[in-house]
Amino acid sequence: MDVRRRSINSPPSTSAGEPLNLKSHKLSHPLYLTNALFFSLFFSVSYFLLHRWREKIRTSTPLHVVTLSEIAAILSFIASVIYLIGFFGIGFIHPITSRASSDDELELDDDVDAIIAKDNSPIPLSQDDEEIVKSVISGSIPSYSLESKLGDCRRAAVIRREVVQRSTGRSLEGLPTEGFDYDSILGQCCEMPIGYVQIPVGVAGPLLLDGAEYTVPMATTEGCLVASTNRGCKAIYVSGGASSSLLRDGMTRAPVVRFSTVKRAAQLKFFLEDPLNFDSLSVVFNKSSRFARLQSIQCAMAGKNVYIRFTCSTGDAMGMNMVSKGVQNVLDFLQDDFPDMDVIGISGNFCSDKKAAAVNWIEGRGKSVVCEAIIKEEVVKKVLKTNVEALVELNMLKNLTGSAMAGALGGFNAHASNIVSAIYIATGQDPAQNVESSHCITMMEAVNNGKDLHISVTMPCIEVGTVGGGTQLASQSACLNLLGVKGASKESPGANSRLLATVVAGAVLAGELSLMSAISAGQLVRSHMKYNRSSRDVSKVVS
């Protein structure tokens, strides 16, 4: 993997776009002048030395007898040869030529770091803001009410940040506040903000899935993850691509209600599961949204308590709020026929949200997707550096048998959670739903007389949306736009969220393929030691 530092040929710029006046800006002189100088020097001294050599042979002068001009020519010749070897990319000379430039580059880094630190320095507060800070610390103004009192979300974040620093005695230097639209999260994404955390976003791909190419954004701080997924995408691409099937699409919510007797609880269960009552219940449920459509009702009893699992389609939204509103409508409707019903909670964990649960693994939640690909034998050997037989055996002993030995629930895979989390953070999904969304079983078998590899991932609980929540933030919206699934589908409601779910499954397929190959070939530790270790002394930056 070719990792490059930022270019030193063009000086860094400030946020206003003006070039920085750095001491090491002398490095940005035109490189073509240096190249021309050494090329000219090389040919000139070569001609001169050849001419002198011929003269000595003609006059029978010993070759080891040299004049001062010949010594200078020889030294110039050596210098130009060293430069030209580096120019043409001969590897062994790079450590020699890079030492001098690395010192200048570090000097450039130090200057840039100093300017960045200056830009991130605390913003001086006005007298009015100082008074507000003191009022919040004293308790006369609640911290959560700053946005409504000030009418300025950014100002509220800056003041709250200062309050936190003074109250805790801990510095928040390094946590940026500038450059973020705090109005966009008000009442929707995050309460009482004091800044934002920067997570790098990489891309893997192109992922060839169902005949279309996708560049997959992944937000992560784990080294090798994007590179590994990218290698899996390459193996899938050169093998003809992957295909997917969406089996189910339905979000769930399961309230818990209680009766005074088991008999009465059973009567509600029979009523809800009677097909004759489903249409009337659907009408009540569907009033909550123009996209919500009730699909099924499943009941379970524990004594005199009834757990009612509603499943409905939610368009392009992930749909938790939508289904909750529909459930509330039905509970209000049922209260007429079952006035003795005591609603304990709108969620009774039979849903089950943000928890590993067998009901999700078996019944599904959100989007249920299966994705498969056939990887050719030569691709397994040349791109993945392993063989089909080793991969099939490793998958059986690791992902299937090993996970069974561990008592895994939905965890019959190598690292599906890695890819799901990275895509979820990049595209504004709820990262906590990674718990059930990462339920995955990876299957591998040899096909075509044992030459090629068939790999598939089955994921019954991919919970994603392309509208609502964090998807409307600028950065996350840009990542959704990169995939072509931004916002709601106008032609077919729900199409964008379903497409996003299949892309998640396809990326998981690529990640599983690459990691399993690395383990099979014994490359896992070497890769992390090579690419997941920084040589930069970060202690200087921190101090």
d(CA 220, CA 241): 25
Closest by alpha carbon to 542, among 51, 120, 58, 94? 120
Catalytic residue among 273, 430, 445, 454: 430
d(CA 51, CA 54): 5
d(CA 154, CA 166): 19
Active site residue 332: no
The pLDDT assigned to 541 comes to 46
- Look at the block and give the residue holding tokens 């005199």: 304
Q: What is the pLDDT of residues 426-459, one digit of tens each?
A: 999 999 999 999 999 999 999 999 999 999 999 9
- Pairing mode, if any, of strands 411-412 and 440-447? parallel
92, 98, 100, 106: CA torsion to nearest 10: -150
SS (H, E, C) 54-116: HHHHHHCCCCCCCCHHHHHHHHHHHHHHHHHHHHCCCHHHHHHHHHHHHHHHHHHHHHHHHHH
The pLDDT assigned to 242 comes to 98
Beta-bridged to residue 340, according to DSSP, are none
**344 and 331 Cβ atoms separated by less than 8 Å:** no
- Pairing mode, if any, of strands 201-209 and 440-447? unpaired
d(CA 358, CA 15): 51
Compute the residue count for the chain.
543
The pLDDT assigned to 55 comes to 80
Closest by alpha carbon to 216, among 423, 387, 48? 423
d(CA 297, CA 308): 7
Beta-bridged to residue 311, according to DSSP, are 252, 296
The pLDDT assigned to 121 comes to 55
pTM: 0.76
The pLDDT assigned to 534 comes to 55
- Look at the block and give the residue holding tokens 């002189």: 29
The pLDDT assigned to 31 comes to 65
Provide the 8-state DSSP code for 354: S
Q: Which residues, 6+ apart, have CB-to-CB distance to 498 below 8 Å?
A: 246, 249, 367
Provide the 8-state DSSP code for 535: -
3-state helix, strand, coil in the chain (%, to 5): 50, 15, 30
Rounded to 5 degrees, what angle do the CA atoms 503, 508, 511 make?
130
Q: Which domains occur in the chain, in start order?
A: 129-185 (no CATH), 202-249+365-532 (3.90.770.10), 255-345 (3.30.70.420)
Tokens standing for residue 261: 């007797």
Active site residue 430: yes
The pLDDT assigned to 8 comes to 37
* C-alpha pair distances (Å), 394 with each of 141, 255, 348, 399: 60, 42, 39, 8
Q: 3-state DSSP call for residue 225? A: helix
Cβ atoms within 10 Å of 137's Cβ, excluding its own: 15
Catalytic residue among 269, 287, 325, 354: 354
- Look at the block and give the residue holding tokens 């109250």: 167
pLDDT in tens, the chain (543 residues): 444 434 434 444 444 444 444 444 444 445 667 777 877 888 887 888 888 888 877 777 777 777 888 888 888 888 888 877 776 655 544 444 444 444 544 454 555 455 444 445 556 889 999 999 999 999 999 999 999 999 999 999 999 999 999 999 999 999 999 999 999 999 889 999 999 999 999 999 999 999 999 999 999 999 999 999 999 999 999 999 999 999 999 999 999 999 999 999 999 999 999 999 999 999 999 998 989 999 999 999 999 999 999 999 999 999 999 999 999 999 999 999 999 999 999 999 999 999 999 999 999 999 999 999 999 999 999 999 999 999 999 999 999 999 999 999 999 999 999 999 999 999 999 999 999 999 999 999 999 999 999 999 999 999 999 999 999 999 999 999 999 999 999 999 999 999 999 999 999 999 999 999 999 998 766 665 666 655 555 455 444
d(CA 193, CA 181): 11
Active site residue 222: yes
Q: Which residues, 6+ apart, have CB-to-CB distance to 83 below 8 Å?
A: 38, 97
Cβ atoms within 10 Å of 314's Cβ, excluding its own: 26
Tokens standing for residue 433: 């739903």
Q: Which residues, 6+ apart, have CB-to-CB distance to 180 below 8 Å?
A: 154, 195, 196
The pLDDT assigned to 32 comes to 66
Active site residue 25: no
Tokens standing for residue 69: 């001009």
Burial class (CB in 10 A: 0-12, 13-18, 19+), 112: middle
Catalytic residue among 222, 273, 377, 445: 222
Q: 3-state DSSP call for residue 206? A: strand
Q: Read off φ and ψ for residue 186, nearest 5 degrees.
A: -60, 120
Q: Which residues, 6+ apart, have CB-to-CB distance to 462 below 8 Å?
A: 366, 367, 368, 369, 420, 437, 501, 504, 505
Sign of the torsion angle spanned by Cα atoms 478, 191, 418, 251: negative
Q: Which residues, 6+ apart, have CB-to-CB distance to 510 below 8 Å?
A: 204, 207, 229, 230, 231, 232, 233, 235, 236, 242, 419
Tokens standing for residue 93: 């000379």
Tokens standing for residue 245: 């099937």
Provide the 8-state DSSP code for 397: I
Q: What DSSP assignment string belongs to 262-303?
A: HHHHHHHHHHHH-HHHHHHHHHHHHTT-SS-EEEEEEEEEET
d(CA 440, CA 91): 44
Q: 3-state DSSP call for residue 343? A: strand
Beta-bridged to residue 454, according to DSSP, are 374, 445
- Here the contacts of 99-104 (C-beta below 8 Å, separation 24 or greater) are 101/27, 104/8, 104/24, 104/27
